């Protein structure tokens, strides 16, 4: 029976390609998403921000500076301005061994462009970044999901998962449509006195972690997404993972790129992982 359960856990385990297969191609571009698809990742993770003219675009940072040849905040730029940027060349410079000519001049995708391109051929794990600074972001996201028929009535199929650090924005999604599976993101760092610190006071404090908080998250989300390591050291452990699981929450750990960490976390009972190397995680799963 236990072997059967373990097998089922393995079958349900999610390989989530973090910003696409971003270990191999520039993050949050079609090349990274295509690579993830070719590696059969279960979900493609996409971070979204909103332009000045209200378009949802796939990029991780609030500013375009790190991953394009431009500068400035997305909220101050129009989609036309965003479309002019090169979102691939930075990768070639930063990772010369992984550089490819085809990465030069890649564009920042719009979320709608992504849905148009892949339709239902991939599963999307979408993070609303800083929803508090983008009024209307959640409504636009749900509108697009509806337009491309991506909200499943059947909870078993789940074409789309939405994740956010903001409980407020997740609760809003849940109010609008309780069929969309949601993941509450958490981020913990050690503080000077050695205790844990939560992220900007937005996510639950580690002091609150206990039955009450798990129950509260359970009211709107199907699980949590948490960092496990910070600067090489673990910040949360097996007990944390087990507590969440005992409270019927899925646990997706981010961002796990090393084989030994993948193996360890599977043993702890996490139910999925965000990784820049989905092929590596699939291999670990096959061999465990």
User: Active-site positions?
Assistant: 18, 60
Smallest Cα–Cα separation from 132: which of 228, 49, 28? Answer: 49
CA distances from 236 to 197, 204, 260 (A): 11, 14, 16
* Nearest distance, CB of residue 47 and Ca ion, angstroms: 5
Bridge-based pairing state of the strands 56-58 and 43-50 = antiparallel
By a kind-dependent CB cut-off of 5 to 8 A, residue 185 interacts, out of ligand G3P, Ca ion, none, with ligand G3P
Backbone angles phi, psi at 142, to 5 degrees: -65, -40
By a kind-dependent CB cut-off of 5 to 8 A, residue 274 interacts, out of ligand G3P, Ca ion, none, with ligand G3P
Task: Report if residue 27 touches Ca ion, rule: CB under 5 A.
Answer: no
Q: Establish how many alpha carbons lie within 13 A of residue 47's alpha carbon, considering only the half-sphere containing its beta carbon.
A: 19
Structure tokens at 69: 């040849």
With respect to ligand G3P, which residue has the nearer C-beta, 47 or 279?
47
- One of 148, 268, 274, 277 touching ligand G3P (CB under 6 A): 274
* Nearest distance, CB of residue 90 and ligand G3P, angstroms: 16
With respect to ligand G3P, which residue has the nearer C-beta, 127 or 279?
127
- One of 225, 271, 273, 278 touching ligand G3P (CB under 6 A): 225
Task: Report if residue 127 touches Ca ion, rule: CB under 5 A.
Answer: yes
By a kind-dependent CB cut-off of 5 to 8 A, residue 254 interacts, out of ligand G3P, Ca ion, none, with ligand G3P
Using DSSP's 3-state secondary structure scheme, residue 273 falls into strand
CA distances from 182 to 57, 137, 165, 196 (A): 20, 16, 11, 24
Contacts to ligand G3P from residues 4-43, by CB under 6 A:
18
Task: Report if residue 163 touches ligand G3P, rule: CB under 6 A.
Answer: yes
The span from the CA of 252 to the CA of 259, in Å, is 16
Task: Report if residue 279 touches Ca ion, rule: CB under 5 A.
Answer: no
Residue nearest to ligand G3P (CB): 254
With respect to ligand G3P, which residue has the nearer C-beta, 80 or 274?
274
Contacts to ligand G3P from residues 176-215, by CB under 6 A:
185
Bridge-based pairing state of the strands 196-197 and 189-190 = antiparallel
Structure tokens at 110: 């719009």
Q: Which helix (H) or strand (E) segment is 250 a member of?
A: strand 250-254
Using CB under 6 A as the criterion, which residues of the chain lie in contact with ligand G3P when the complex forms?
A: 18, 45, 47, 60, 127, 163, 185, 225, 254-255, 274
Binding site for Ca ion (CB under 5 A): 47, 127
């Amino acid at each position: 029976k236990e072997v059967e359960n373990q097998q089922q856990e393995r079958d349900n385990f999610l390989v989530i390609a973090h910003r696409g297969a971003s270990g191999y191609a520039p993050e949050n571009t079609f090349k990274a998403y295509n690579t993830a698809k070719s590696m059969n990742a279960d979900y493609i993770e996409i971070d979204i921000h909103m332009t000045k003219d209200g378009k949802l675009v796939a990029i991780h940072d609030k500013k375009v500076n790190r991953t394009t040849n431009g500068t400035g905040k997305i909220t101050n730029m129009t989609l036309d301005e965003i479309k002019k940027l090169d979102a691939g060349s930075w990768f070639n410079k930063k990772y010369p061994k992984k550089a490819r000519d085809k990465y030069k001049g890649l564009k920042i995708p719009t979320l709608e462009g992504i849905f148009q391109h892949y339709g239902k051929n991939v599963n999307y794990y979408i993070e609303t970044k800083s929803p508090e600074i983008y009024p209307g972001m959640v409504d636009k996201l749900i509108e697009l999901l509806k337009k491309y028929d991506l909200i499943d009535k059947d909870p078993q199929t789940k074409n789309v998962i939405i994740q956010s650090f903001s409980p407020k924005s997740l609760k809003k999604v849940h109010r609008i449509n309780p069929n969309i599976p949601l993941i509450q993101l958490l981020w913990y760092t050690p503080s000077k006195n050695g205790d844990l610190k939560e992220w900007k006071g937005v996510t639950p404090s580690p002091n609150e972690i206990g039955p009450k908080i798990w129950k509260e998250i359970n009211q709107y989300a199907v699980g949590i997404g948490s960092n496990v390591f910070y600067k090489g050291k673990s910040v949360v452990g097996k007990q944390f993972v087990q507590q969440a699981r005992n409270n019927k929450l899925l646990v997706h750990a981010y961002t796990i790129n090393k084989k030994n960490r993948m193996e360890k976390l599977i043993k702890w009972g996490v139910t999925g992982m965000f990784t820049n190397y989905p092929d590596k995680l699939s291999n670990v799963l096959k061999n465990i």
